[in-house]
Amino acid sequence: MTISPELDKKAEEAISHYPAEHKRAASLPLLHLLQHEFGYVSEESVKWVADKLGLEPINVLELVTFYPGFRQSAPGKFHIRVCRTLSCAMAGSYELMESLCKATQIDRSGTSHQNPIAVSPDGKFSIEFAECLASCGTGPVCMVNDDFHESIKPAEAAKLVENYRAKA
Ligand code: FES
């Protein structure tokens, strides 16, 4: 893991928002910065944040394991998040998940609360369930990296995946 000077500068800037005696409050902003940069929060990232804030790595790791928004393993080039909250679930998000897994050849059988991400054999795609993505009236919805997709019927999953495969 290489921390660029730019990333280090952003981290210092985030830390500066808090009084020196409460700089541990910058843990979450720093973890978000690292996840955005590397796609997930590695053990090295946990240690780096801990060193930066004068904490023990376990203090940082407990945040990573508590908040489901943090990933502890590397995602694919295209990371898919499928909303499973009530409106989307009723509109077919579980069926959408199945269709997306089929289209990407992803096997989710090894996923758990601690390890919610499954990756395709070619490493191009990864997938996980997400909680409400704030478009409850147009479910089922999913995100592919930063792209938002609404009213995606399970039958449209293969086409969606192919569009991204063409960009890989
Ligand atoms: S329930 Fe899916 S976006 Fe809100």
DSSP run (H or E) holding 79: strand 78-83
Run of H or E including 28: helix 27-38
5-66 matches 78-165 in fold: no
Those residues whose C-beta lies under 8 Å from the C-beta of residue 166, and which sit 6 or more positions away, are none
Residue keyed to tokens 């489901």: 68
Provide the β-strand partners of residue 118.
127
| Any ligand 1 atom below 6 A from CB of 142 | no
pLDDT of residue 71: 87
Between CA 161 and CA 35, with CA 134 as vertex, the angle to 5 degrees is 65
Q: How far apart are the C-alpha atoms of 76 and 79, rounded to whole Å?
A: 6
Tell me the three-class secondary structure of 35-69, residue by residue.
Answer: HHHHCCCCHHHHHHHHHHHCCCHHHHHHHHHHCCC
Measured in degrees and rounded to the nearest 5, phi and psi for residue 145 equal: 50, -120
Q: Which of 81, 94, 136, 148 to mutate to test the pocket of ligand 1 (most atoms within 8 A of CB)?
A: 136
For residue 73, the model assigns a pLDDT of 85
Q: Any idea which architecture 78-165 has in CATH?
A: 3-Layer(aba) Sandwich (3.40)
Model pLDDT for residues 72-114, shown as the tens digit of each residue = 888 999 999 999 999 999 999 999 999 999 999 999 998 987 7
pLDDT at position 82, please?
Answer: 97
132 CB near ligand 1 (under 6 Å): yes
CATH 1.10.10 fits 5-66, yes or no: yes
Residue 131, pLDDT score: 93
Q: Exposure string (b/e) for 97-115, b if CB count within 10 Å is 16 or more?
A: bebbbebbebeeeeeeeee
Give the pLDDT means over successive 10-residue stretches in the chain (168 positions). Answer: 94 96 96 94 96 97 90 92 97 97 96 86 95 96 96 95 93
CA-wise closest residue to 81 among 142, 137, 124: 142
Ligand 1 pocket residue status of 134, Cβ below 6 Å: yes
pLDDT, position 1: 81
List the chain domain ranges: 5-66, 78-165
Position 30 scores a pLDDT of 98
pLDDT value at residue 153:
93
Which atom of ligand 1 lies nearest, measured to the CA of 87?
1
C-alpha neighbours within 13 Å on the C-beta side of residue 35: 19
